[in-house]
Amino acid sequence: MMRAFLPEALFPSERSVRKLLRKLCGTNVDAFENNPELLQHWFYLLKYFNNRSMMKHTITIHSSADIQVIRSKSLFVIGEQDLLSYYPKAVARLEANGMRYRIVNGAGHAINHEMPELVHEEITGFCREA
């Protein structure tokens, strides 16, 4: 995460937000760069983010039995260029637990903004099958 967010998150400006989005997004970074409201939103996220609030969060590693309860009700849509979610250990865990997932080429962390039509298709298709 540090590699993804630093140094841009330390000194939030319009320029650093654009640079961070280029790191986090895939090939469709234009979804942000051509949308002043989304850029402003990301600027505010960086500028007013409280690191101390994150210190209270802990990561819970659920057992395979816990995961089996939600397996048929879950779909993971992960951007191939997502520095925060797409890494071998995460995908291996999804596979080991029989979770349904899709890796989307050319997408990054903000996949819902980068490729909204594709995400919509994946979610509605998954819901229709349920």
Res 22: pLDDT: 86
**How far, in Å, CA of 1 to CA of 52, rounded?**
16
Q: Give the model's pLDDT for residue 32.
A: 84
pTM for the whole structure: 0.78
What pLDDT is recorded for position 5? 67
The whole-angstrom separation of Cα 111 and Cα 78 is: 7
Residue 102 backbone phi and psi in degrees, to 5: -140, 130
Distances (CA, A) of 121 to 16, 95, 98: 32, 22, 21
Task: Spell out the per-residue pLDDT of the chain, length 130, in tens.
Answer: 666 666 777 777 888 888 888 888 888 888 888 889 988 988 888 888 776 766 677 778 888 899 989 999 999 999 999 988 898 999 999 999 999 999 999 999 989 999 999 999 999 999 998 7
**Residue ranges of the domains in the chain?**
2-54, 64-129
Assign 34 to helix, strand or coil. Answer: coil
Neighbours of 51 (CB within 10 A): 7
- The whole-angstrom separation of Cα 129 and Cα 122 is 11
